[in-house]
Amino acid sequence: PQSLAIVQARDDCARNGRLSAEQRRTLDRLEYANELWVQRYVHCFWTRLQLWEDTAGFNTARIVQTFGGPRRFNEEQALPAISGCNAHARRISAADSTLDWCYKAFVCILRTPVGNWYRHYILDVINGNA
């Protein structure tokens, strides 16, 4: 069921953002350049999955539970990585820009072991293996 929600969120956000086929392929390659259309997509995607809140950032505990809980995630790595990226991105983001904050937190998370897991999982979803 979770992979269906991910596919639906990806499709809805691509459609709502009026992404071109090339932009969609860029996202399918898991390339996230710091461009406004990418920021909008990232914010839309995580908001649709109810894992991002504009006032609090990423909901760390909910992310862990949504993506398989402790049996799939090393919580001792995941919780501090996500929380740390959330806080760091909030400090360095443009004032009053939740798009910038969400994007920077997401890109930060991609540089952690959680990001490695996410990339594998999303590629499985994209390829129909999840």
pLDDT of residue 94: 78
Q: What is the DSSP string of 45-58?
A: HHHHTT-EETTTEE
CA separation for the pair 101, 119 (Å, rounded): 20
Instruction: Return the SS3 of 52.
Output: strand
Q: Which residues pair with 58 in a beta bridge?
A: 52
Q: What is the pLDDT of residues 102-126, one digit of tens each?
A: 999 999 999 998 888 888 888 888 8
pLDDT of residue 88: 94
pLDDT of residue 116: 86
CA separation for the pair 68, 81 (Å, rounded): 17
Q: What is the pLDDT of residues 18-55, one digit of tens each?
A: 999 999 999 999 999 999 999 999 999 999 999 999 99
**Structure token digits, residue 104:** 């920077």
User: How much of the chain, in percent, has pLDDT values that exceed 70?
Assistant: 96
**Structure token digits, residue 105:** 């937190």
pLDDT of residue 68: 66
The mean of the pLDDT values for the chain is 89
Mean pLDDT of 71-85: 85
Q: Is the model's pLDDT at 1 over the cut of 70?
A: no
CATH number of the domain at 2-126, please? Answer: 1.10.238.20
Q: Which residues have C-beta within 8 Å of that of residue 11, sequence separation ≥ 6?
A: none
